[in-house]
Structure 1
Amino acid sequence: MVDTGFSSFDVMVDKANHVLKEIEQAYGWPKDRRKQSYAALRAVLHTARDRLTVDECVQFGAQLPTLLRGIYYDGWKPSEAPMKMSKEEFFTRVRENFPYAIDSDTEQLARTVLKVLQQYVSSGEWDDVKAVFPGSLAAIFPQP
């Protein structure tokens, strides 16, 4: 457990570390690949965020754990949302924003991150987010 001297911060940091550890385990990375799991989380969150409408972006972001919400909104430009993109463009953007080697493919990396994130979002909101994406891209989102 992290000790920042402020219990609310400690809980937020621990929850964020837990999410990163879940990504590492789900993707099959060895222990302590925090830089990679963080980069994967950030790349997928930002690419998904940029594809969402402003309203849906805010509704989704509101359900994320606090530190993940900060990562999610970092650099967001609501005036440019939503950014239309195909499935291939989505994965290209994720890959461009993930500066590490990928053991399988970009789609598997994105699916892994989304599967972990699904635990932190209500099934109704998850369905709303999926509905914004075109069918081929919505298919990468795990079922609630």
Structure 2
Amino acid sequence: MTMPQTYFHASLDFDAFIADVRDTCMLQTHHQAYHTLRAVLHTFRDHLTTEQALAFAGVLPAVTRAIFVEDWQPSDLMPDPFPDRATLIREVQSVRRDHNLAPDSAIENVASALRRSSVDERELDRILATFPDAAAAYWKT
């Protein structure tokens, strides 16, 4: 069996994706883009059940998937429901506050970059359609 392309090209794909996040968010460095991406992913994850998080992770490219599950402590408890957009933005901006320069548009910016990356948009939308409306709305552009 050959190595799946998602792993073979993981580094190249992620480099292009993180550059897109940087440019879309109008950030200066890849480091700033990484912290913004991580904050957007972890904020989303915090409002999902374990089953939902694993389904979402399954559609992400390899490196993005690794960031999504980084430091995750799954729980059988029901997560807090998705709050309004302003609260979500504050949650994103509070992740690693000293290293986080996420703009107010970070969620939409990352959603746009993710949809332009190597993610299968049809599969992403199929998975999101099984989630609560607020979860699907998180990734609307």
Q: Is the 8 A contact 1:51 1:85 kept in 2?
A: yes
**Partner SS, residue 82 of structure 1:** coil
Question: What is the 5 A alignment of 1:71-90?
Answer: 71-79=67-75, 80=77, 82-87=79-84, 88-90=86-88
Runs of 4+ in 1 over 3 A off after TM superposition: 7-10, 137-140
CA distance in 2, matches of 1:74, 1:45: 10
Q: Tell me the percent identity.
A: 21
Which structure's residues are more often helix, by fraction? 1
1:38 pairs with 2:37: no
Match of 2:92 among 91, 94, 97: 94
* Shift in alpha-carbon separation, 1:138–1:125, aligned structure 2, 3 A: closer
Question: What is the 5 A alignment of 1:15-54?
Answer: 15-30=13-28, 33-54=29-50
Q: How many residues align?
A: 130
Q: Which has the higher contact order (CA 8 A, sep 6+)?
A: 2
Unaligned stretches of 5+ residues in structure 2: none
**When the two structures are superposed, what TM-score results if normalisation uses the length of structure 1?**
0.73
1:111 pairs with 2:79: no
**When the two structures are superposed, what TM-score results if normalisation uses the length of structure 2?**
0.75
1:62 pairs with 2:27: no
CA distance in 2, matches of 1:24, 1:115: 12
Q: Which amino acid aligns with 1:39?
A: H
CA distance in 2, matches of 1:18, 1:45: 18
Q: Is the 8 A contact 1:50 1:81 kept in 2?
A: no
- Root-mean-square deviation (CA, aligned residues, Å) is 2.7
